[in-house]
Structure 1
Amino acid sequence: MKGKKFENNIHYSVVRNSLGVYTNYICSLFKSKTSYMGVKYKEYQIKKINGSVNVIFIMGESANFQHMSLYGYERDTTPFLKSLVHSDQFKYYHGVSRGFSTRIGVPLTLNVIQEPDNVEQLLSLQTNLFHLAKKNGYKTFYLSNQKSGVLASLVNSREIDEFHDVFSKKIPQDTQHDTRLIDSLNQFNIINKSKEPFFIVLHQRNHHFAYQDNYPNQYHVYKKSLNENEKLIDTYDNSMRFQDDFIKKLIQMVDNVNHKPILVVYTSDHGELFGEKGLWGHGAPVLNSAGVPIFIYANASAKTWINNTNLPDQCALGNYHLGKFIARALGWDIKNPNESKNFYVNINLPYDEVDGYKKFTLSEVEKELCHHTE
């Protein structure tokens, strides 16, 4: 019974989830006490603040900033993002994910906690971004081109007004690519017509292996390599070109809405390796596997807000810190009395019955990740 614990599944019936809960509980009665319930930490303080903006939060998939020309990559894979470098409406960082896999990285980013074993804070959902948005009167959306099982029981679905993942028939069905997420925004007419402030999570699939399956044919830009590893990199870089146009289209939509302050925030669930330290793919508990791009764009109405917000003046930013920034955009200040300058990346969720995280210092992150600059 060691390892991953039982988790509710949003797509299962109440009966099936209930049986899973009871079975897991009965099994736990016959096991010795373990320490998986985590360390007792000081309680977070959450304070309402003045000022809030609309937020579109893009949760990327397997994004490696070292393959973005925004960060100095030799191939011009992100020409649009690179054009924003000197704009006062744009900020970008070398990011550190909260997990080495999607199942870990997504829920731990949406639930703003730093400590890798703070089970009590995690399960309380008090710093969950959907919870904070609903608490401040936001209309909330989760639009995903993936299965929603990665959220497990770490989000309250009642706090998401529109929940649509890859199984939903209410999102456009004419394509399997991430453009269906932007089409969904048009279909629901959220950005222009919503009378309430909105918090939208767009969960992408784009850079998921096999990369060539996740972008349209016109993005076969890099295709002349003969070596198998180089071919793999070609398809990944093609997916990055598609991603750049996805972001461009979304930002153009946001720029056309001048009467609402809107932030577009991007990070990824984890990174992707292409031979670094002899490793490929993701899941290996090394810092490069946690390296992700982070960027923030503010439309004209939100420009003052972003420039008056205290974002760290450093090259590296963790998804935990980004979560605090998003919470502030939603009208809440999170004070964590346990906070440190370290970066914690989980191998397992905090309540899994195995030890599973890596700690990286700020100096390690700056040395390992931040030398990849333009």
Structure 2
Amino acid sequence: MKNNFIKFTYNILLAFIITLLFVSFDQIFRLYNNILVFNLDFKSFLEQFFINLLIVSIVKSRAIFVAYIILATFVWFQLLHFSYFGTWIFPLEYMLFFTKFKEVFDTFKSVTNITIIPTIMFFILLISIYYLLKKYEEKRLKIPYLSYILIIAIFINPINLYLKDNTRKGHRPSVEYYQIKNSYLSISHLFAIILPKKFLSNYSGLEQPVVPTPNIILNNPDINVVVIMGESANRNFMSLYGYHIKSTPYLESLKNDKNFIYKDAISSGVVTDVGIPNFFNMIKQPDGVPQAISQNTCIFKMAKENGFQTYFYSAQAQDQLAQLKSYLCTNFIDDYYDGTNLTKDTGTPALDEHLITKIDDIDFSKPSFITLHQRASHSPFYDTYPKEFEIYNKDNIEDKTLNQNLINYLNSVRYTDYIIKNIIKKISEKTNRPTYFIFTSDHSTSMEKNRNGHGRLDFDSVWQIPFFVYGINNPENLGNYFQDFPYISHYQIGNLVSYLLGYQKQYEYFNTKEDYYVCGADISGFDGILKISFDKENNLSKDFNFIK
């Protein structure tokens, strides 16, 4: 008995040292990262100490080390994620890591510098633990069957979440929690709530009533409608919207044209796989999957049924469109093309300039509904434009405070401005028919320090996208259908497109003040919903509703 007590003191010592290692790396990272603060407290330390005490008491040292490899890997992922996004990992992101692996890999490949600190910590942690386990192997107390008890304990929280089955509030990682706790809670939520509902019941509890197709008010309009769908376009970095670097000179030149109308748009999602299906199916609020399945308000179907030739040309690769193509009622698209048709690789997109070339394939003798889907400005930004479009660099940029990643992004925005200019120029040479160009984006991207990327409802800039409509060849004066209210939603832009295609409009003014909805990284709403409201002075307020 006395011998066991002495051995257990070594377990306590070993657990204490390992806890110090985890806590030290956590707090060092917090001091290194200016978003986080030093937050060591007794409760957090005691929780981690108790976890480590149980682990180091397992019989087999190999099982102990495997457990710490897993825990250290979770910590590494969390630190890496925070270095880029400025948050710990949300539940759905673990699933997206596998379903969107190439996209994730390409993004982090462009910012490898952020991996240095987390990777150094990862190896120091594992080497230290390996040395400690070897040193105390013969001295520590080994408790039989403890590993089985721990495995059972791991399932307690997810089972409890599953049985509660509350679908209204969801898990948001706490900045104040340590990485292992955040990982465990997020993964519990993923397996207990998101995956069962997504893959077993296919029911979110948020399904909206299916609405019918709007009435046709003008049969076979003799016009062309061109939707230019941007990728990750952040209006805050466009000089059209007042940004201090001249990133959109062409769009600025149109500002005083009476046929050019632009507003501050708000996207319907924070990832492409949500924003584009919601836009092209005119979905007002999640969950709109039943609406998309009905195809009642699928814009391509509506265009085809009212006399338009339909085209969808995307610079994005086949794999990058795989999750959203089923929502586009492609049987109503006369000519479909994506980047893989050019690159011959399912994961490699084309440059946006090839969209200009594809205009030659359009039959402008007939009214046409055309969608041109861009790839710039998706990360890694330097891959989305040709090298001759490296207009800005560290030497010539006006604002010397900008980092290289943001400079690359500005080059992609300047490239987008060039693409839009040449799309409009080429189409104006091809047709004398009234033609309307509508530009917006699937979502935006955050370029704040330590808050990069998209897919985050809590990053305001991720849903702040551009919008303009521009008419040529004696177009209808659309200015009568817009008011001074500065905002417009994806849903309202969709209604503008629907109206141009000959269908009854839903609003007196397309940019009507009402509640706007932004869906998280899952189209059914499993990753949460953001409701945006406006007061009498047009001040914006946000209300998060996360699924649980």
Judge same fold: TM > 0.5, yes or no: yes
Q: Which residue in the other structure is 1:360 paired with?
A: 532
Task: Tell me the distance in 2 between the aligned counterparts of 1:261 and 1:170.
Answer: 34
More strand by share: 1
Q: 1:230 aligns with which of 403, 406, 411?
A: 403
Q: Identify if the C-alpha distance between structure 1 residues 364 and 176 changes in structure 2 by more than 3 Å, giving closer, same or farther.
A: farther
1:351 Cα deviation (Å)? 3.5
Q: Identify if the C-alpha distance between structure 1 residues 57 and 317 changes in structure 2 by more than 3 Å, giving closer, same or farther.
A: same
Task: Tell me the distance in 2 between the aligned counterparts of 1:206 and 1:102.
Answer: 13
1:248 Cα deviation (Å)? 1.1
Q: Which residue in the other structure is 2:517 paired with?
A: 344
Q: 1:167 aligns with which of 340, 356, 361?
A: 340
Q: Deviations over 1:106-125 (max 9, x none)?
A: 11111101021244323211
The answer to whether the Cα contact below 8 Å between 1:104 and 1:150 also exists between their aligned partners in 2 is no
Q: Identify if the C-alpha distance between structure 1 residues 96 and 365 changes in structure 2 by more than 3 Å, giving closer, same or farther.
A: farther
Task: Tell me the distance in 1 between the aligned counterparts of 2:294 and 2:283.
Answer: 11
Tell me whether 1:92 sits opposite 2:262 in the alignment: yes
Q: 1:36 aligns with which of 204, 220, 231?
A: 204
Q: Which residue in the other structure is 1:13 paired with?
A: none
Task: Tell me the distance in 2 between the aligned counterparts of 1:40 and 1:150.
Answer: 21
Q: Identify if the C-alpha distance between structure 1 residues 364 and 248 changes in structure 2 by more than 3 Å, giving closer, same or farther.
A: farther
The one-letter code of the counterpart of 1:306 is L
Percent identical: 29
Superposition pairs for residues 63-212 of structure 1, below 5 Å? 63-147=233-317, 148-169=321-342, 176-186=350-360, 188=361, 190=362, 193-212=363-382
Task: Tell me the distance in 1 between the aligned counterparts of 2:433 and 2:213.
Answer: 29
Q: Which residue in the other structure is 1:16 paired with?
A: none
Task: Tell me the distance in 2 between the aligned counterparts of 1:365 and 1:280.
Answer: 30
1:194 Cα deviation (Å)? 2.7
Q: 1:46 aligns with which of 214, 225, 228?
A: 214
Q: Which residue in the other structure is 2:227 paired with?
A: 57
Q: 2:453 aligns with which of 256, 278, 281?
A: 281
The answer to whether the Cα contact below 8 Å between 2:310 and 2:333 also exists between their aligned partners in 1 is yes
Q: Alignment length, in residue pairs?
A: 333
1:28 Cα deviation (Å)? 8.2
Q: Residue 339 of structure 2: SS of its match in structure 1?
A: coil
Q: Residue 301 of structure 1: SS of its match in structure 2?
A: coil
Q: Larger C-alpha radius of gyration, 1 or 2?
A: 2
1:362 Cα deviation (Å)? 2.8
Q: Identify if the C-alpha distance between structure 1 residues 152 and 50 changes in structure 2 by more than 3 Å, giving closer, same or farther.
A: closer
Q: Which residue in the other structure is 1:253 paired with?
A: 426
Task: Tell me the distance in 2 between the aligned counterparts of 1:149 and 1:364.
Answer: 42
Q: Identify if the C-alpha distance between structure 1 residues 199 and 37 changes in structure 2 by more than 3 Å, giving closer, same or farther.
A: farther
1:40 Cα deviation (Å)? 4.9
Q: Deviations over 1:33-91 (max 9, x none)?
A: 67416345373461101273311101100111111110111101111100111101101
Q: Identify if the C-alpha distance between structure 1 residues 99 and 144 changes in structure 2 by more than 3 Å, giving closer, same or farther.
A: same
Task: Tell me the distance in 2 between the aligned counterparts of 1:138 and 1:42.
Answer: 25
Tell me whether 1:323 sits opposite 2:494 in the alignment: yes
Q: Which residue in the other structure is 1:218 paired with?
A: 388
Q: Residue 46 of structure 1: SS of its match in structure 2?
A: coil
Q: Residue 371 of structure 2: SS of its match in structure 1?
A: strand
Q: Identify if the C-alpha distance between structure 1 residues 152 and 143 changes in structure 2 by more than 3 Å, giving closer, same or farther.
A: closer
Q: Which residue in the other structure is 1:19 paired with?
A: none
Task: Tell me the distance in 2 between the aligned counterparts of 1:237 and 1:170.
Answer: 25
Task: Tell me the distance in 2 between the aligned counterparts of 1:73 and 1:185.
Answer: 31
Q: Which residue in the other structure is 1:9 paired with?
A: none
Q: Which residue in the other structure is 1:296 paired with?
A: 469
The one-letter code of the counterpart of 1:47 is N
Task: Tell me the distance in 2 between the aligned counterparts of 1:45 and 1:110.
Answer: 13
Q: Identify if the C-alpha distance between structure 1 residues 241 and 137 changes in structure 2 by more than 3 Å, giving closer, same or farther.
A: same
The answer to whether the Cα contact below 8 Å between 1:100 and 1:282 also exists between their aligned partners in 2 is yes
Task: Tell me the distance in 2 between the aligned counterparts of 1:364 and 1:170.
Answer: 51
Structure 1: tracts of 5 or more residues without a match: 6-26, 370-374
Q: Residue 181 of structure 1: SS of its match in structure 2?
A: helix
Q: Residue 293 of structure 1: SS of its match in structure 2?
A: strand
Task: Tell me the distance in 2 between the aligned counterparts of 1:152 and 1:73.
Answer: 34
Q: Residue 255 of structure 1: SS of its match in structure 2?
A: helix
Q: Which residue in the other structure is 2:39 paired with?
A: none
Q: Identify if the C-alpha distance between structure 1 residues 333 and 108 changes in structure 2 by more than 3 Å, giving closer, same or farther.
A: same
Task: Tell me the distance in 2 between the aligned counterparts of 1:365 and 1:300.
Answer: 37
1:140 Cα deviation (Å)? 0.6
Structure 2: tracts of 5 or more residues without a match: 1-90, 97-194, 542-548
Q: Which residue in the other structure is 1:8 paired with?
A: none
Instruction: Provide the TM-score with structure 1 as the length reference.
Output: 0.80
The answer to whether the Cα contact below 8 Å between 1:99 and 1:269 also exists between their aligned partners in 2 is yes
More helix by share: 2
RMSD: 3.1
The one-letter code of the counterpart of 1:279 is R
The answer to whether the Cα contact below 8 Å between 2:265 and 2:489 also exists between their aligned partners in 1 is yes
